[in-house]
Amino acid sequence: MTDSVKKWYVVRAIGGQENKVKAYIENEIARLGMDDYVDRVLVPTEKVIQIRNGKKIHKERVYFPGYIMIEANLSGELPHVIKSITGVIGFLGEVKGGDPVPMRKSEINRMLGKVDELSVQNENVAIPYIIGETVKVIDGPFNGFDGTIEKINEEKRKLEVMVKIFGRKTPLELSYMQVDKIS
C-alpha cells in the first residue's frame, strides 16, 4: 500500500472511553494482520493541572470527547471491522449506509497542528475557585484563618482573599496552594 491512498477519518466512540476504544481498534487490526491499511489511531488530548487538596495533579484531558482520528486506507473489510469493535458508534460524516467521508486537508492540518500545539503549549490550570467563595488559609502566617475570595489572577495563579483579622477585613494575596475549600 502506498501512503498516498491513506486518508484521515473520524471514528465516533462512546464518550469517556476513547483510549480504551483506540486500544481495541489497534489490537483488532494487529490481530487480523491489517497493519498495512492503518497508519495511526489518534485520540487528541491536552494536558491540564487540577488542584485538589492543595496539591497539583497533572491530567490529560480528551480534547474532542467521543471522537478518535484514524489514518487509514478504508478498503475491503476494514470499515466493517472498525464499526464492529466494542465502543465504536460509526464513522463521522457518513450517510446512513454510505461510505465514510475522509477529512479535508485543511481540517487534518488544523487538527494535527492543534494536537502538536497542545502538547507544546503551557499547561492549563483548571481554576478550582470562584469569586465570593469562602476558603481556609492552610499555609503562611495566616494559617487557620477563613476568608472570602475577592479576585482571581489566573496568570500569577494568585487569589486575593479578604480575611478578618482583629475585627478588621484585610486583603491577602495568596497562591492557589495556600488555600483550601471549606467543605
| CATH code of the domain containing 152 | 2.30.30.30
- 145 and 102 in a common domain: no
Same domain for 121 and 158, yes or no, is no
DSSP 129-155: --TT-EEEE-SSTTTT-EEEEEEEETT
Residues 45 and 114 in one domain: yes
Produce one character per residue of 61-99: b if its CB has 16 or more CB atoms within 10 Å, e if not.
Answer: ebeeebbbbbbbbbeeebbebbeebebbeebbebeeeee
Tell me the per-residue pLDDT of 72-116, one tens digit each, with 9 for 90 and over.
Answer: 998 888 888 998 999 998 888 756 666 788 888 878 777 777 665
For residue 72, the domain's CATH number is: 3.30.70.940
The Cα–Cα gap between 12 and 100 comes to 11
Answer whether 76's CB lies under 8 Å from 99's CB: no
Indicate if 147 and 165 belong to the same structural domain: yes
Q: Residue 21: what pLDDT?
A: 94
Sites in the chain below the pLDDT cut of 50: 1-3
Closest CA relative to residue 181, chosen from 148, 153, 152, 150: 148
Q: What's the sign of the alpha-carbon dihedral 22, 24, 27, 28?
A: negative
Do 50 and 84 belong to one domain?
yes
**Joined grid coordinates for residue 104:** 479535508
State the residue range of the domain holding 58.
3-126
Residues 94 and 142 in one domain: no
Number of domains in the chain: 2
Judge if 80 and 157 occupy the same domain. no
Task: Indicate if 77 and 162 belong to the same structural domain.
Answer: no
* 95: three-class secondary structure by DSSP: coil
